[in-house]
Chains A and B, each alone.
Chain A
Amino acid sequence: MKKFILRRLLLGIIVLLGVALLTFFLARVVPSDPAAKWAGPRATPEQIARATIELGLDKPLYVQFGKYLLDLLQGNLGYSLRTRRPITLELQESLPATIELVLISTIAAVFVGIPLGVISAKRKDQLIDHLSRLFSIGVVSLPTFWIGLILQLVFFRVLGLFPMGGQLSTEIKITMDIPKVTGFIMFDSLVTGNFRIFLDALWHIVLPGITIGMYPVGLVARMTRSALLEILNEDYITAARSYGLSERIVLWSYALKNSIGPTSTVVALSIGYTLVNTFLTESIFTWPGIGNYIASAVIGLDYPAIMGVTIFSAFSYVVLNLIADIIIALDPRVRV
């Protein structure tokens, strides 16, 4: 048991090291000159030379990589070429908005996806299974960026029900003090009792939330279905049935409990997908999160910023998967 977790952790560290190496390699082999960018447009050769030293680009590659790793260990992702500010700080500023969006859609994925998967498995090969399968495969086949535009077209332009973008109305933002407890607007406004801000934030998150949430809903529904189907074929389920336990108890408490492992893995996985999908949708919804941040970084060729977001996302993905694995390992039923 301990050995398994230790091995998993060790592997995680190796993987993270590799991720760092890969991003470093990507950012260094590009034919671009970060020093020229750092020095700014119309910089003189002397300014560029100065910037080269400032950024440590005159040192051999392995020294640069060593420094890069040391910085990473201290949580320092380097400096943005455009703003010259620490990327860690910029990520901290834009993360809460994205996490809020990702959490909302993950919660939706769990509460819509799992029941959908269960129903599908229960009525396998019946019409409802086909429909729910079509739905869950359908939503993972939708281009996220497109569905965002279509939702804007329908719910903003035609129906006028929801705002086109932003996290809060400007009026609210200027005329009211936005409470700052954790940085998550919805949570903060709720705990401080600012219902107007909360409702405004909720009203704004609906369209981007649906857009981002579709993929994980489909993914979770499909995984729950196949995990359940597998478990329903197991001997102990047959045994439970033969004891005369009702089908409802068999399904919801025996089978579903045992599919928690695979389902939690897929939820962890879907958070990774969702995070990347924010890259495609945040700018459509003027959502001030890391998706918007990386979009401007890509446009401005801000390599350290792109690297920073990549490292950060890969890191959270690895950690999430690690957690999911450990949860499964801790589950006494899985222990061998």
Chain B
Amino acid sequence: MKKLIHLIVVLLFVAALISACGGKPQEPAQPAEPQKPAEPAQQEKPAEAAKPQFAVYALNSEPLTSWDPAIEFSNGIHLHNNMYEQLVRYEPLEKKVKPLLAESYTVSEDGLTWTFKIRQGVKFQNGDPLTAEDVKYSIDRTMQIGAGASYIWSAVENITVKDPQTVEFKLSYQTPLDLVASTGYAAFIYSKKCVNENNEWIEEAKGCGTGPYMLKSAKWGDEVIVEKFADYWGGWADKHFSTVVFKKVAEPATRRQMIETGEATVAVELPYTDVDILKNNPNVAVSVDPSFQNLIGMFNTKKPPLDNVKVRQALAYAFPYQEVIDTVIGGYGRQSYGMVPYGLWGWSDKLPQYKTNIDKAKELLAEAGMADGGFKLLLTYTAGNEAEKSAAELYKAELAKLNIELEIRGMPWDSQWELAKSTDLAARQDIFVMYWWPDLPSPYSFLFSTFHSEEEPLFNLAYYSNPEFDSLIDQANQLTATDFAKAESMFVEAQKILLEDAASLFIYDRQDIWVTVGNLRGFKFNPAYPTVVFFHDLYLE
């Protein structure tokens, strides 16, 4: 049975390849054999041979949590970025904002007026042409709903349509709106027709985006199948995938197997222990790319004993950075310099790093009057994340040397987060371990959400509060559009404060391991859109 299916698949690929390459009219040679015409598989083959290529993306959790591109702020990033488009796209490694639905844009001298020229001839998947009206409508609605990542637009005061191809954004304060408009969430342009009179997204509304793929079918929490939108403004070549399946495959071992057997085209979040084995497999391609994800362990700066900066510094010295990088992520990452990850502007190797040094840690503990340790700390991490779990276990072994007992608690993200926001201050964790990634590809996004003072804790789970730091990053953000160099140096300065205060463990900036089938071409990962694969760029060789 398995062989039969393999045979069919191979034939299918061969057929597709032949029709893609030559476009010759003659049929592939196989139906010549007259002996076994009774097999049903054989009969269906001609119809199948005409079917084009498809790709399968094996995801670690459900493909999406909301159909509404204004709301979705989770896994749907994979899918929505293939169905919808933003005004511009950011290429962080080249530090360039590239045109997408907007052909060009300008910003006024004071940085408060941004004008975008909309691309001509773009069609929505339902056939309607894209106009400046649609841009205004989409962003207005996203802001008005105010869910998900919509806060990225908070600087926008109003949007005006100047002419059918021109739209103007007025800001209340300076912000790099081009970066905002490039965001992987909440910056999509969509059609009015997909929203009902209650401003609700029509379930599974089809044909609402301008992107290369449109919805074919979906099984919630399991898989979504999209197919090509023939009138896509970016055009189509025969080699492109005409169908893409986004499939949840919870077990990492199964995802790996799917790549090895060619059942999946791309897979995410494979264990780092598998990577070296996969590298030796000729049917598999492994590419290592910088990602903007970093692992941090926020110290509870408001709860004894970690309210003492000496203790925090001691704990930062006790962390086994290199061991964690080597063991947990197989060396595919580098120790962080502060909060901003490698590859993003605002990262600087001029910043100091804590290096593992148990003696130094003991010294600092002694200075804090706790030479013998003897206290207990609670570390929480997101259950199911192997890297966080193993890092915590390695840390526990080091802290045991300081006679500090680390309790490790793996919790579903929501409970972990809820505990951190608990009104019972004593119940809160001491160390909050999580991966952070950008909503916006800007250092402000990294520093504001995590360490800017908050009245009620949201993501500043170190409960860190330092007016000097706050004003530094606020000013730097406003300077971004007008004096980039100054802004960058201020962001670096701000991180120095964080490091001196040891507000958090800055563990590693991880590299993303992309495991794809060996003959996949055109694959290029963009760290500003974590885990997104732009399938329109890809083809099989």
On whether the two chains bind one another, the answer is yes
- B254 touching A39 by the CB < 8 A rule? no
- Bound-complex Cα distance A175 to B16 (A): 13
Contact code string A43-76 (vs B, CB < 8 Å = 1, else 0)? 1110100000000000000000000000000000
Q: Which of these binds chain A: B60-68, B85-93, B298-306, B389-397?
A: B60-68
In B154-188, which residues have CB < 8 Å from any A CB?
none
Contact code string A154-180 (vs B, CB < 8 Å = 1, else 0)? 001000110111000111111110000
- B1 touching A40 by the CB < 8 A rule? no
Q: Report if A293-B221 is in contact (Cβ < 8 Å); known contacts: A40-B71, A44-B146.
A: yes
In A264-299, which residues have CB < 8 Å from any B CB?
283-284, 286, 288, 292-293, 295-296, 298-299
A100 at the interface (CB under 8 A from B): no
- Bound-complex Cα distance A10 to B65 (A): 41
B48 neighbours in A (Cβ, 8 Å): 175-176
Q: Chain B's nearest CB lies how many Å from the CB of A38?
A: 10
Q: Chain B's nearest CB lies how many Å from the CB of A299?
A: 5
In B477-501, which residues have CB < 8 Å from any A CB?
none
- Bound-complex Cα distance A55 to B161 (A): 38
A314 at the interface (CB under 8 A from B): no
Query: Which residue of chain B is the closest to A160 with respect to CB atoms?
Result: B2
B203 neighbours in A (Cβ, 8 Å): 85
Q: Chain A's nearest CB lies how many Å from the CB of B332?
A: 25
Q: Chain B's nearest CB lies how many Å from the CB of A150?
A: 13
B335 neighbours in A (Cβ, 8 Å): none
Q: Chain B's nearest CB lies how many Å from the CB of A296?
A: 6
A244 at the interface (CB under 8 A from B): no
B230 at the interface (CB under 8 A from A): no
A238 at the interface (CB under 8 A from B): no
Contact code string B267-287 (vs A, CB < 8 Å = 1, else 0)? 000000000000000000000
- Bound-complex Cα distance A90 to B65 (A): 13
Q: Chain B's nearest CB lies how many Å from the CB of A170?
A: 5
A203 neighbours in B (Cβ, 8 Å): 1-2
- B12 touching A175 by the CB < 8 A rule? yes
B384 at the interface (CB under 8 A from A): yes
A176 neighbours in B (Cβ, 8 Å): 44, 48
- B249 touching A165 by the CB < 8 A rule? yes
B195 at the interface (CB under 8 A from A): no
Contact code string B131-147 (vs A, CB < 8 Å = 1, else 0)? 00000000000000011
In B109-153, which residues have CB < 8 Å from any A CB?
146-149, 151
A300 at the interface (CB under 8 A from B): yes
- B1 touching A32 by the CB < 8 A rule? no
Q: Chain A's nearest CB lies how many Å from the CB of B278?
A: 15
B56 neighbours in A (Cβ, 8 Å): 170
In A109-130, which residues have CB < 8 Å from any B CB?
none
B148 neighbours in A (Cβ, 8 Å): 40-42
- A283 touching B250 by the CB < 8 A rule? yes
- A169 touching B222 by the CB < 8 A rule? no
Query: Which residue of chain B is the closest to A303 with respect to CB atoms?
Result: B414
Contact code string A298-327 (vs B, CB < 8 Å = 1, else 0)? 111100000000000000000000000000
Q: Chain B's nearest CB lies how many Å from the CB of A94?
A: 7
B105 at the interface (CB under 8 A from A): no
Q: Chain B's nearest CB lies how many Å from the CB of A297?
A: 9
Q: Report if A199-B1 is in contact (Cβ < 8 Å); known contacts: A94-B221, A171-B8, A299-B412.
A: yes
A301 neighbours in B (Cβ, 8 Å): 412-415
Q: Chain B's nearest CB lies how many Å from the CB of A135?
A: 29
Q: Report if A299-B62 is in contact (Cβ < 8 Å); known contacts: A174-B243, A174-B245.
A: no
- Bound-complex Cα distance A203 to B6 (A): 14
Interface residues on A, range: 35 or more
A298 neighbours in B (Cβ, 8 Å): 412
Q: Chain B's nearest CB lies how many Å from the CB of A16?
A: 27
Q: Chain A's nearest CB lies how many Å from the CB of B379?
A: 19
A28 at the interface (CB under 8 A from B): no
- Bound-complex Cα distance A203 to B44 (A): 20
Query: Which residue of chain B is the closest to A197 with respect to CB atoms?
Result: B40
B257 at the interface (CB under 8 A from A): yes
Q: How many residues in B have their beta carbons less than 8 Å from beta carbons of A? A: 55
- B220 touching A90 by the CB < 8 A rule? yes
Query: Which residue of chain B is the closest to A153 with respect to CB atoms?
Result: B253
Q: Chain B's nearest CB lies how many Å from the CB of A220?
A: 29
**Looking at the complex, which one of B1, B2, B51, B459 makes contact with A175 (CB distance below 8 Å)?**
B51
- Bound-complex Cα distance A79 to B341 (A): 38
- Bound-complex Cα distance A176 to B251 (A): 26
B5 neighbours in A (Cβ, 8 Å): 169, 171-172, 200
B359 at the interface (CB under 8 A from A): no
**Looking at the complex, which one of A45, A84, A175 makes contact with B456 (CB distance below 8 Å)?**
A45
B225 at the interface (CB under 8 A from A): yes
- B225 touching A174 by the CB < 8 A rule? yes
Q: Chain B's nearest CB lies how many Å from the CB of A73?
A: 25
- Bound-complex Cα distance A195 to B248 (A): 27
B251 neighbours in A (Cβ, 8 Å): 165, 283-284, 286
Q: Report if A83-B220 is in contact (Cβ < 8 Å); known contacts: A39-B147, A196-B40.
A: yes
- Bound-complex Cα distance A195 to B422 (A): 56
**Looking at the complex, which one of A41, A93, A295 makes contact with B250 (CB distance below 8 Å)?**
A295
A163 neighbours in B (Cβ, 8 Å): 2
A82 at the interface (CB under 8 A from B): yes
B263 at the interface (CB under 8 A from A): yes
Q: Chain A's nearest CB lies how many Å from the CB of B323?
A: 28
Q: Report if A299-B225 is in contact (Cβ < 8 Å); known contacts: A170-B263, A171-B8, A175-B48.
A: no
B8 neighbours in A (Cβ, 8 Å): 171
- Bound-complex Cα distance A123 to B503 (A): 73
Query: Which residue of chain A is the closest to B384 with respect to CB atoms?
Result: A299
Interface centre among B61, B221, B263, by most A CB within 10 Å? Answer: B221
- Bound-complex Cα distance A285 to B5 (A): 20
Q: Chain B's nearest CB lies how many Å from the CB of A93?
A: 6
B247 neighbours in A (Cβ, 8 Å): 170
Q: Chain A's nearest CB lies how many Å from the CB of B530?
A: 15
Interface centre among B65, B222, B253, B418, by most A CB within 10 Å? Answer: B222
A8 at the interface (CB under 8 A from B): no
- A288 touching B219 by the CB < 8 A rule? yes
A33 at the interface (CB under 8 A from B): yes
- B414 touching A170 by the CB < 8 A rule? no
Q: Chain A's nearest CB lies how many Å from the CB of B39?
A: 9
- Bound-complex Cα distance A288 to B61 (A): 12
Q: Chain A's nearest CB lies how many Å from the CB of B195?
A: 15
- A292 touching B12 by the CB < 8 A rule? no
Query: Which residue of chain A is the closest to B41 with respect to CB atoms?
Result: A196
Query: Which residue of chain B is the closest to A169 with respect to CB atoms?
Result: B5
Given contacts A295-B250, A296-B221, 8 further A-B contacts (CB under 8 A): A40-B147, A43-B147, A165-B254, A196-B40, A203-B2, A283-B250, A283-B251, A286-B250
Q: A: which residues have CB within 8 A of B? A: 31-33, 36-37, 39-45, 47, 82-85, 90, 93-94, 152, 156, 160-161, 163-165, 169-176, 195-196, 199-200, 203, 283-284, 286, 288, 292-293, 295-296, 298-301
Interface CB pairs A-B, < 8 A, 15: A32-B418, A36-B418, A42-B458, A43-B147, A47-B146, A94-B222, A160-B2, A164-B254, A169-B5, A170-B56, A174-B245, A175-B12, A200-B1, A296-B61, A301-B414
- Ranked nearest first, the 9 interchain pairs of A and B with the lowest CB-CB distance are A301-B414, A288-B222, A283-B250, A301-B412, A165-B254, A164-B257, A203-B1, A175-B48, A40-B147
